[in-house]
Amino acid sequence: MNKSASNSMLEVVNPYSLDPIGEVKLVDWPTIDGWLNVASQLHKQRAKWLPAHQRIAILKKTAQIMQGKFDELAFQIANEGGKPLIDAKVEVTRAIDGVELCIKELSHLTGHEIPMDLTAAGSGRMAFTTREPIGPVVAVSAFNHPLNLIVHQVGPAIATGCPVLVKPASATPLSCQAFVHMLYEAGLPEEWCRFAPCKSDVAEQMVTDSRVAFFSFIGSGAVGWRLKSKLAPGTRCALEHGGVAPVIVDETANVDAMIPALVKGGFYHSGQVCVSVQKIYVPEDIVSSVAQAIADKASQLKVGNAIQADTECGPLVNPNEVERVDQWVNEAVAGGAKVLCGANKLGKTAYAPTVLLNPPKQAKISTQEVFGPVVCVYGTDSLSSAIEQANSLPVAFQAAVFTQKLNVALRCVREIDATAVMVNDHTAFRVDWMPFGGRRQSGYGMGGIGHTMRDMTQEKMAVIKL
């Protein structure tokens, strides 16, 4: 948590300069307790449910307000989160599209007819299902996409008619606060969405409260799985953690097209993305040339304050992360990794884009999510070996393969343990309507606007005897 001016205020800083840029008031448990009571009553009293047309109107107005504040929102993302301004503008576009997607998905959030006369027991009856809001939602979010992640968690709750309390990451609460206020400006009654920055012990009490019907979490696996284990009986959840996104390259890959994609996928937001390119497996006879090509391009990236228009790689979220990444890199180098570029701190808040060749397989950089601007390249002697290494960790999220051979592409799609395998594209590709989430330790459930909306509703069946 950023330094607080007092026990009740959270100071927000620019992660590159560490200059204060704002503050938000921390919410205490008695306040959250009252909000949960109101949320629970809103759900129980069906006469108070917001009709779909009203929710649609609010979301439409919200998207319009966001569009009018486009540059302000992009600057705020860069200023509090360290995402380069050019990428922050893309995030705002996606966030606006995400709000509009919530509206579109409502028309697909339907029930269906159940045939009843398939046996004599069901004869003379008709049945159909509808979908209802699941109840109060608590969303806990991450820092790396401070506006779009909030849209993905809060937008579906508003669209489906669920009251929601949202706790942003302590490093990046300002974008979340802005979005909640825009919802209010668009006509959403405040009791339907509460901005709840709070200390970790209060957050845990909120998440594990029995009045919570659905828990949406984006963040570290250690925190997510711990909170899931403490949820009240009956609380549903979705967890999105990280991975160590593997990429497999074969001899036929189009190198000219592949290198820019790998550099973008590995160093976008300085690698602080849950599906950033981290591990690249390349045949031994071309591994040195491919790794050097990646390093040559990565070394040209401009590192600096994210609010500057020409910055391509911003800071890490806080100085402790710079120290951690540096320790992991030094461990790998001591174990025999070859440094092709980077491997050095750029002051307290930034780390140079780094490419390592053949780090030890047991090093932290090879076995854990680095969440920093480091890409590792490994030589392999066969496709089977590359796939085996790609599947060797307890995390599984998105992966990729670069090849011009259809059989290689299809084999990787079939055999790599991942929720999505990109063919001739980097692992960090995403559009907001696709299913998005991790397997095994990388998460629980599936994100994406439409999938989240289904999670935040529950099916009810009516059986009518004729």
* 66-71: Cβ within 8 A, 24+ apart: 66/92, 66/95, 66/96, 66/99, 66/179, 66/182, 67/96, 69/178, 69/182, 70/96
Pair (116, 151) in one structural domain: yes
Question: What's residue 3's pLDDT?
Answer: 43
Pair (448, 379) in one structural domain: no
Q: How sure is the predictor about 4, in pLDDT bands with cuts at 50, 70 and 90?
A: very low
Cβ(441)–Cβ(394) under 8 Å? yes
Scanning 138-214, the segments in alpha helix (DSSP H) are 148-160, 173-185, 200-207
Residue 436 in domain: no
Residue 437 in domain: no
Residue 307 in domain: yes
N- to C-terminal Cα separation, the chain = 61
Q: How sure is the predictor about 6, in pLDDT bands with cuts at 50, 70 and 90?
A: very low
Pair (211, 283) in one structural domain: no
DSSP string, 106-134: HTT----EE--TTSGGGTTEEEEEEEEE-
Number of domains in the chain: 2
Residue 139 in domain: yes
Pair (304, 231) in one structural domain: no
Question: What's residue 437's pLDDT?
Answer: 84
Half-sphere exposure of 63 (CA within 13 A, CB side): 19
Pair (87, 214) in one structural domain: yes
Rg (CA), the chain: 23
Residue 1 in domain: no
Q: Who contacts 390 (Cβ-Cβ below 8 Å, separation ≥6)?
A: 246, 248, 279, 281, 399, 416, 417
- Mean pLDDT (whole number) for 178-191: 98
Question: What tokens does 424 get?
Answer: 């001739």
Q: What is the pLDDT of residues 219-250, one digit of tens each?
A: 988 999 999 999 999 999 999 888 899 999 99
Give helix 85-106 / helix 70-81 axis angle, nearest 10°: 120
Domain CATH number, residue 91? 3.40.605.10
What span, in angstroms and rounded, lies between the C-alpha atoms of 292 and 298?
A: 10
Q: Who contacts 192 (Cβ-Cβ below 8 Å, separation ≥6)?
A: 42, 50, 158, 163, 164
Q: How sure is the predictor about 50, in pLDDT bands with cuts at 50, 70 and 90?
A: very high
Pair (417, 312) in one structural domain: yes
Question: What's residue 433's pLDDT?
Answer: 85
Pair (275, 236) in one structural domain: no
Say whether pLDDT at 291 is over 60: yes
Question: What's residue 162's pLDDT?
Answer: 98
Place of tokens 């055999």: 415
Pair (232, 250) in one structural domain: no
Q: What is the pLDDT of residues 304-342, one digit of tens each?
A: 999 999 999 999 999 999 999 999 999 999 999 999 999
User: What backbone phi and psi angles, to 5 degrees, belong to 163?
Assistant: -65, 145
Q: C-alpha angle 38/44/47, rounded to 5°?
A: 100
Give helix 148-160 / helix 85-106 axis angle, nearest 10°: 10
Say whether pLDDT at 2 is over 60: no
Q: Which residues pair with 137 in a beta bridge?
A: 164, 214
Pair (355, 294) in one structural domain: yes
Dihedral sign (CA 449, 196, 85, 351) = negative
Question: What's residue 435's pLDDT?
Answer: 86
117 φ/ψ sector (left φ>0, alpha ψ -120 to 50, else beta): alpha
Q: Which residues pair with 17 in a beta bridge?
A: none
Question: What's residue 242's pLDDT?
Answer: 87
Quote the domain boundaries for residue 304: 246-431
Question: What's residue 174's pLDDT?
Answer: 98
Q: Which of 163-172, 208-217, 361-370, 425-434 has the lowest mean pLDDT?
A: 425-434
Cβ(122)–Cβ(116) under 8 Å? yes
Cβ(129)–Cβ(75) under 8 Å? no
- How far CA 150 is from CA of 154, 232, 378, 408, 444, in Å, comes to 6, 23, 36, 38, 18
Q: What is the pLDDT of residues 371-422, one digit of tens each?
A: 999 999 999 999 999 999 999 999 988 999 999 999 999 999 999 999 999 9
Cβ(156)–Cβ(456) under 8 Å? yes
Say whether pLDDT at 5 is over 50: no
Pair (252, 237) in one structural domain: no
Residue 2 in domain: no
Question: What's residue 284's pLDDT?
Answer: 95
Residue 3 in domain: no
Pair (379, 422) in one structural domain: yes
Pair (305, 201) in one structural domain: no
Question: What tokens does 129 get?
Answer: 């299902």
Domain CATH number, residue 252? 3.40.309.10
Q: How sure is the predictor about 439, in pLDDT bands with cuts at 50, 70 and 90?
A: confident
Q: pTM for the whole thing?
A: 0.92
What span, in angstroms and rounded, lies between the C-alpha atoms of 418 and 244?
A: 11
Question: What's residue 1's pLDDT?
Answer: 43
